[in-house]
Amino acid sequence: YGKNTIKFLRLHKEGKKHFVKEVEVCTHLRLISAQEYLEGNNSHVIPTDTIKNIVLVLAKKNGIPSLEQFAIDICNHFMTTFCQVMYVKTYVQEVPWQRLHENGVPHIHSFICVPDGIRFCEAEQCRNGPLIVFAGIKDLKLMKTTQSGFEGFYKNEHTTLPERHDRILCGELFCKWSYGECKDFDFDCIWNKIRECILEAFAGPPDCGEYSPSYQKTVNSIQMLVLSKVSQVQVIEVVLNNTFYNVLDMKNLGLTNDKEVLIPVEAPYGSCACTLARK
């Protein structure tokens, strides 16, 4: 297969108000034959440069109504235009430009980049197969300073970790989910709803939180809440890249450290992941 990446900005105006989408689009293609590899026969090969042009022409003609719709449009174009294409996948990722506000007033043409979780989506299709749409969020960094522990784990002669019932829970979240049959979904609205579910399941109620017995259980809580609240989601994958913090032992410096000063642990660096599907 071959893939390529292109990054661009799409502007549009409604009256005097400006709207901006900056996206990175990566298109994977697999052709019916492999003659370009085996024989050096390029007659079926669609050059990177042509793929770039197609993505830009579609952006110019249709705009980017939502990341998901744009990815669907690109897949459809390749499947219907090129009979030598066996499989196409389009990944679209957004640069998180947000409208600037001055004293609460939105600015008509100024934006600030706020990378608190990056939105992405994927559309993929095999010839004669259904078009499947995924969406997700990545690089979302979250922390709970209490209501987290890790106890009752398996122990043997190589175990040195003490049990803890009040540790820091901190990590970088990656979530990706698939939609079933994509009818007339409001992709922007659903994505925002799912993001709220993720934050709620991670943090628990604002006044007291909710105890997490492990990174793994927190992963599962996020999946369960999304599946229960958002009916369009069929399968959800969550990966949590953990950052561990150790309470620094300050005894040899003559001090008692009551979980006030903590040091991030670079290694071992762990992550846990789970994929859960609706029955």
Is 98 annotated as belonging to a binding site? no
Question: In sequence order, what are the beta bridge partners of 41?
Answer: none
Which parts of 103-132 interact with a copy of itself (CB under 8 A)? Answer: 105-116
Non-local (6+) Cβ contacts of 93 within 8 A are 23, 24, 25, 26, 67, 118, 119, 120
C-beta of residue 21 within 8 angstroms of C-beta of residue 94: yes
The SS3 assignment for 214 reads coil
185 in a known ligand binding site: no
Closest CB to a copy of itself among residues 182, 199? 199
18 binds a copy of itself (CB under 8 A): yes
Taking alpha carbons only, the member of 240, 244, 239 closest to residue 266 is 244
* Residue in the block written with tokens 């009818």: 183
In the list 62, 165, 213, 278, the residue contacting a copy of itself (rule: CB under 8 A) is 213
195 is a site residue for a copy of itself (CB under 8 A): no
CA-to-CA distance for 173 and 171, rounded, in angstroms? 6
Q: Is 147 in the site for a copy of itself (CB under 8 A)?
A: yes
Q: Which of 131, 203 has the CB closer to a copy of itself? A: 203
Residue 2 in contact with a copy of itself, rule: CB under 8 A? yes
Separation between Cα atoms, residue 90 and residue 251, nearest integer Å: 55
> Could you say whether residue 278 binds a copy of itself (CB under 8 A)?
no
Confirm or reject binding of residue 262 to a copy of itself (CB under 8 A): yes
Among 118, 131, 182, 203, binds a copy of itself (CB under 8 A): 203
| Smaller CB separation from a copy of itself, 133 or 148 | 148
Q: Are 144 and 83 in contact (CB under 8 A)?
A: no
C-beta of 60 vs 181, nearer to a copy of itself: 60
Instruction: Determine whether the annotation assigns residue 49 to a binding site.
Output: yes
Annotated binding-site members: 48-49, 150, 167, 216, 242
